[in-house]
Amino acid sequence: MLKTLYSAECLVKKGTLVKDFINRIKSIPYLLSIIASALFAWGFFINNTTVGIDCLSTDRYLNGLLIGQGRVTSTIVGKLLCLESNNFYFSNLLGITLFAFGIIIISILFEKIYKPKTDFPIIIFSCLYLSFPLLLEYFSFAHCALATGGCTLMLAFSLYLVSSGNNLRTSLILPTILIMFTLSWYEAFLPVYIALTALILVFEIRYRNMSQKSVIQQGIKFAIPLVIGAIAKEAFAATVRTVFSIPVNNAAQTYSYWTFGAKLSDLFAGFLMFWVSKIFCYAPFTILFAAMIAAILLLIFDLKKYKKPILLLLYCIIVSFNIYVYIV
C-alpha cells in the first residue's frame, strides 16, 4: 500500500498532474469562469435548500443506515466532518470546491488529447459540467453536493492515473482503491466513470485517429479497475456490515422504475409519463434532450468521417448512461 501511494505521489510530481493543474488555472479567463460558475452554482442551491427526509434523517443515515445501503465512505466522511449538524453552507461549499477540482482534472485529460488553440472549448465544457441545471436540482438533497464533489474528484484522479500511469501500481491498484471508495460513497457514479471513459475514447479516435483495436485495448485498461473496484466495494460493505451487525437496507433502490418483475409496458409507460413528458415542460430536461440530439448528429458525422463502427457503441454508452444518471 505504501509503495502504491509513493508511486502515485511520484506520478503527481513527475508525471505532472500538479504541473498540468497549475498550467490550466494559469489561464485567467478559465480560472475566472470556473470560479464564477462555482460561486453561482453554490449560491443557487444554498438559496434553494429544501428541508426534506434527508435533512431530518441525517443522524439515522450516519449511524448505520448508509452502511446498510453499502455507502461506507459516505458514513466515514459524514462522521469525520460532523455532518449531523446539517451545516449546509460548509458541506455545500466544500462539495462545490471538490467538484471544481475534479472538473479541472477531467478537462486536463481532454485537453491532452484535443489540444485546442484557445481556452474557449475547455471553458464551455467545464462551466457546463459545473452548472448543469439538473445537477443543481439534485444538490437540493442533504449533503449531495459534497458526495458529488468528492466522487467526481476521485473518479477524475482515477481516470488520470489509468491514462498516465506507467506501472501496475499507478495504473491499476490505486485507481481500483479510489473507485472502491467512490462507489462506496455514492454508487451512481459508476455510469459516470463509464460515460467519461467512452468520451475519452471518442476523443482518441477524433483527434489521434486511434485504431479500433487500440480503442478496445484502452477501453479494457479503463474497465479493469472499475470492475475490480465495484467488486471490492461490495466486499468492503459486506465486511463492515458483518463486523458491526448492521442489516442490509434497500431503501436507496426504491426510486427506480427499472425493477425486475415489472411489465415492459408499465416500464415504458412510466418512462414516458415521468421523464419524456418533462422535455416539453421542464427546461433542464429540454437541455438534456437537446444535448442528446447533438450527440446523435455528431455520431452521424463521425461515422462518415472516421469510418469506425465502434463509435456507434461509444456514443450509445455516452447517451444511455447520461439518461440513466438523471432518471434513476
Q: Is the pTM of the predicted complex or chain greater than 0.75?
A: yes
Domain residue extents for the chain: 2-248, 255-328
**Residue 110 scores a pLDDT above 70:** yes
Give me the pLDDT at residue 273, please.
Answer: 72
Name the more confident of 82 and 56. Answer: 82
Cβ neighbour number for residue 28 with a 10 Å cutoff: 9
Give me the chain's average pLDDT, please.
84
Distance CA 6, CA 13 (A): 11
Of the candidates 58, 272, 54, 70, the one whose C-alpha atom is nearest the C-alpha of residue 190 is 70
Give me the pLDDT at residue 234, please.
Answer: 94
Give me the pLDDT at residue 254, please.
Answer: 45
Distance CA 86, CA 142 (A): 8
Residue 189: C-alpha distances to residues 122, 148, 184 (Å): 22, 8, 10
Q: Give the three cell numbers for residue 254.
A: 426504491
**Residue 50 scores a pLDDT above 80:** no
Residue 141: C-alpha distances to residues 56, 189, 287, 297, 315 (Å): 11, 16, 22, 34, 30
* pLDDT class of 132 with cuts at 50, 70, 90: confident
Mapped onto helix, strand or coil, the DSSP state of residue 141 is coil
**Residue 119 scores a pLDDT above 80:** yes
Residue 293 backbone dihedrals phi, psi, to 5 degrees = -65, -45
Give me the pLDDT at residue 297, please.
Answer: 92
Please state the rounded mean pLDDT for residues 220-225.
96
* pLDDT class of 142 with cuts at 50, 70, 90: low
Give me the pLDDT at residue 206, please.
Answer: 93
Name the more confident of 304 and 83. Answer: 304
* pLDDT class of 256 with cuts at 50, 70, 90: very low
Chain segment 168-200, per-residue pLDDT in tens: 888 899 999 999 999 999 988 999 999 999 999
Of 118-132, 254-268, 307-321, where does mean pLDDT reach its minimum?
254-268
**Residue 259 scores a pLDDT above 60:** no
